[in-house]
Amino acid sequence: MADQTHALPDQALPAPVPEVIFESECPTRNLLELIADKWALLALHALHDGPARNGVLLRRLQGISQKMLTQTLRNLERNGLVKRIDYQEVPPRVEYQSTELGDSLGCKVAGLAAWVSDNIGQVEAARAAFDSAAGKVRD
């Protein structure tokens, strides 16, 4: 069973994670690998705000290439997290939208993003302390 001693007193303990998730061929592990991808997380977070066109996503997800954005959106669509809406217009107009399943994950991603924002200062301080100590050891 997972160690749950780090939970704060006012927090509910999370349900234990089934051990099968650690097996390389487990479908749940495959899904976890998909959603743990940084571009997938950022795309889901961006689409949690509402539908968006490709160009909007490309500008919002700074640093992503067109090829990677296309691959990410197709993978999310294949797994039922994103819906591609083709308006069949000239010139072509396509939007991407979170599905109900994608929105349920998008809420979790928004919570993760809030945690990151709340804790980035502590993480940066830990990095600086580690790097400083590592520099002293190497000198």
DSSP string of 4-71? -TTS-TTSPPPPPPPGGGGSTT-HHHHHHHHHTSHHHHHHHHHHTT--EEHHHHHHHSTT--HHHHHH
pLDDT higher than 60, residue 12: yes
Residue 90: its pLDDT value, please? 92
- Higher local confidence (pLDDT), 114 or 21: 114
Q: What is the mean pLDDT of residues 69-87?
A: 97
Per CATH, is 19-110 categorized as 1.10.10.10? yes
Look at residue 6 in the predicted model and tell me its pLDDT: 46
Task: Tokens 């976890």: give the residue.
Answer: 32
pLDDT at 94 over 80: yes
First to last CA, the chain: 42
Q: To the nearest whole number, what is the mean pLDDT of the chain?
A: 87
For residue 79, the SS3 value is coil
Q: What is the pLDDT of residue 28?
A: 85
